[in-house]
Amino acid sequence: MGGGHYSVPAIIYPLTAGMRWKSAFRAILALFRSGSGKIMRIMSLFQPVDVRMKWARFALFFVSIVAVAHGSSKENPRLEAWLRNCQNETGASEDDFQIIKSRKIPTSKEGVCMVECLFTKLHIIDNGQFNQRGFVITFSPIARGNLKKLAALKEVAALCRAEVSAVQTGEQCSATRTVLDCFGKNMDKLAIAKKP
């Protein structure tokens, strides 16, 4: 795992232990193949992740949600255009682009900024800050009207907003790193929100 990024298979095992991740992941992949357009805004939830496992767990969650929304960029020209647009805006390398496109998690600063660009397109990040309302709106389709799941999303959004507000580093794309860290800390609540 020391090649500069985590591959999705390398982080699936810790997530499947004691959870129904395998069946959830299969269902998500089925939706991914069908090209479901309902959750199009979720694309930006692809997250470049630091070397911490909790970030990797959260990234897998988002990768699966992205799969629902867009499928692979080989099959979806709109996803390819979004990724290219964000690559150009951030100056991310072709390696960063390919890492994200292949559902792996970039660790470079430019890769993180590319993810922030995607988050911005989905209104999860606005003006360099976490958008609590945008996060809830983007993810509400996975709650499918279940109030308990929606409450879990709102709770995570509130916790992450407070965490991002408390950490004002001024570093470029730092909000995305902080948001990812927060999501990793609250993986249990996010898992509740996404369970079928």
Residue 119 has pLDDT above 50, yes or no: yes
Residue 3: inside a domain: no
Tokens encoding 93: 């390398």
DSSP per residue over 22-43, as a string?
Answer: HHHHHHHHHHHHHT--TTGGGG
d(C-alpha 140, C-alpha 147), whole Å: 10
pLDDT (mean) for 43-58: 39
- What is the structure's pLDDT at 158? 92
CATH of the domain at 67: 1.10.238.20
Residue 1: inside a domain: no
Residue 179: inside a domain: yes
Domain extent for 105: 8-194
Residue 64: inside a domain: yes
Extract the runs of DSSP E, i.e. beta strands, from 87-177: 125-126, 129-130
Q: Which residue pairs, CB below 8 angstroms and at least 24 apart, start in 85-89?
A: 85/117, 86/114, 86/117, 86/118, 86/121, 87/114, 89/117
Shortest CA distance to 45 belongs to which of 138, 140, 171?
A: 138
pTM, two decimals, is 0.59
- What is the structure's pLDDT at 171? 77
Residue 2: inside a domain: no
Are the C-beta atoms of residues 195 and 24 closer than 8 Å to each other? Answer: yes
- What is the structure's pLDDT at 88? 93
Reported as a single tens digit per residue, the pLDDT across 55-71 is: 444 444 454 444 444 44
Number of independent structural domains in the chain: 1
Top mean-pLDDT range of 6-10, 19-23, 39-43, 89-93: 89-93
- What is the structure's pLDDT at 89? 92
Quote the mean pLDDT of the chain: 66
Residue 128: inside a domain: yes
d(C-alpha 112, C-alpha 96), whole Å: 9
